[in-house]
Amino acid sequence: MWISAAIIATIAAVTALPASAAENGYTIRTAGELASLCAGDPESGGPDKQTGLTLCDGFLQGMLSLELRHERAFCLPSPSPLRMQLMQQFVTWARANPRRVSMPATDGLVEFFRERFPCGKWG
């Protein structure tokens, strides 16, 4: 169920991208592409580092909100980490294993949160 909701959220986010982001060729199909945006890598497909970071931030926030609302597959500590910290941790996590960078972006992000913030760890 969460995958279909995540796919709908991702489609909505991608279709709502600003024209400049879509025209510059930003793509977020894989966890590796998402990690490149989150890292602010110039090779992420577009010339504007800030637009890439903003797309990453929005993608992360959307997936986080959706997943916490519907499934509770992971549990964030209180206080929650800052989004910029999560973005940096996701980049490190994704790049640590070649299998991860080729995963669909939504699957990779959910797996990252499940590994990083398992329920029961903080309570």
Q: What is the DSSP string of 26-48?
A: ---SBHHHHHHHHHT-GGGSSS-
Q: Which two tokens stand for residue 85?
A: 């910290």
Residues with Cβ within 8 Å of residue 58, at least 6 apart in sequence: 13
> How confident is the model over 69-109, as pLDDT tens digits?
776 678 888 888 888 899 999 999 999 999 999 999 999 99
DSSP state of 24: T
**Inter-residue contact 41 to 88 (CB < 8 Å):** no
Q: Given this model, what pLDDT does residue 7 score? A: 45
pTM of structure: 0.72
Of residues 55 and 22, more confidently modeled:
55
Whether pLDDT at 37 is above 50: yes
Q: How confident is the model at residue 16 (pLDDT cuts 50, 70, 90)?
A: very low
On the question of pLDDT at 2 being above 50, the answer is: no
